[in-house]
Structure 1
Amino acid sequence: MINIAIDGPAGAGKSTIAKRASKELGFIYVDTGALYRTVGLNVLRQGKDTKNPDDVIPTLEGVDISLRFVNGEQRVFLGEEDVSEAIRQNEVSMAASNVSAIPAVREFLFSLQRDIAEKNNCIMD
């Protein structure tokens, strides 16, 4: 498998480049930020504090976050629910920022990203 990761500051054009390159190369595009947003959404829905590791870490147990490609577009699922639109709310953006500071969340999502990368040619941002 070939995997490319694009990193950089917000607003630098990472997603634009990653989407264009993935389309031209026939790779899947993985929006890693969407994964953090989904964890944040899940924590919010459970009424937990997104800044408190003791609240956040238990929400990772058994959570089913997946990426599916519908008509060539990446969609993000929490269980069987398509949350692709819900994760773009401002409150969820803040929650994503909070949970991303928790090492256990990063480890959980790195594992998910590795699983995706092992099975697919992909470009991640």
Structure 2
Amino acid sequence: MTDGRGIIIAIDGPAGAGKSTVARHLARHFGLLNLETGAMYRAFALRAIEGDFDFDDPVSLERLAGQTKITLVPTLTGNRVLLDGIDVTQRIRDSDVTQGASRVSVHPTIRAWMVDLQRALGQKGGIVMEGRDIGTVVFPDADLKFFLDASPEARSQRRYEQTPAAAENRGTISQELRERDERDRNRAQSPLRPAPDAVTIDSTDLSLEEVLRRIESIVKARLSTARPAAEASSPSAP
């Protein structure tokens, strides 16, 4: 928390590690905005799908980015995602969009465009921002950084339990998750990895409540040390 801006909490990790759930909880609990960067990549992937663009053509995707407007509208229950003014909050959760997001995100020009958007959204602080390179690239000076992880088996099981109506079976979800891990961890720009100063939490054998309690305590301690410092630096009343 520097230069008068609010706290910035960065949460990174692979698919299915619980980033979105933790970020939403922290935002509600501490009165912060929850900026879900993954939703931005999904929205752009949907734009590419609707325009029948090739996920592997970075030149065409870069032109498309210049014609695309993505807006996050924070609400009490999470973000509404607007794509060129149209609410796509539900559509971007579909499997084809999720896989497309992972594919468009490997291109350096698309990531650079997204990073600029994300920094603009979070520049005033008072946010919890989750993604895959928040603590390493988007906000390397974030006040707190967490890296959430879990075994591929645990993450696949969680995704399976969250998948509505059995449009996918467990084997399909597991395969897609492993493919996404491969792309995220091995892309040329901003590969998925914890920041050197991130708190890494492996939730393979932890309940959601245990993860939340641990992270809450860290955030609470950080906020409590920041407030006295801010008060001490405030001008005295006449």
- Shorter-chain-normalised TM-score: which range? over 0.9
Superposition deviation, residue 124 in structure 1: 1.0
Instruction: Extract unaligned runs of 5+ from structure 2.
Output: 1-5, 131-238
Q: Distance in 2 between matches of 1:86 and 1:98?
A: 17
User: Which residue in the other structure is 1:83 paired with?
Assistant: 88
Letter in 1 for 2:58: P
**CA-to-partner distance for each residue in 1:28-78, whole Å, 9 max, x for gaps?**
111111110011011111111012102211101131100012455311001
Matched, 1:46 2:43: no
Pair 1:70–1:24, CA change in 2 (3 A):
closer
Instruction: Extract unaligned runs of 5+ from structure 1.
Output: none
Q: What SS does the corresponding residue of 1:110 show, helix, strand or coil?
A: helix
Superposition deviation, residue 9 in structure 1: 2.1
Question: Greater relative contact order: 1 or 2 (C-alpha under 8 angstroms, separation 6 or more)?
Answer: 1
User: Which residue in the other structure is 2:67 paired with?
Assistant: 62
Q: What SS does the corresponding residue of 2:109 show, helix, strand or coil?
A: helix
Q: Which has the larger radius of gyration?
A: 2
Matches within 5 A, 1:23-38: 23-38=28-43
User: Which residue in the other structure is 2:22 paired with?
Assistant: 17
Q: Distance in 2 between matches of 1:78 and 1:10?
A: 22
User: Which residue in the other structure is 2:128 paired with?
Assistant: 123
Kindly tell me the number of residue pairs found equivalent between the two proteins: 125
TM-score (norm 2): 0.50
Stretches (4+) displaced over 4 A:
none
1:96 pairs with 98, 101, 104, which one?
A: 101
Letter in 2 for 1:46: G
Query: Sequence identity of aligned pairs in percent?
Result: 36
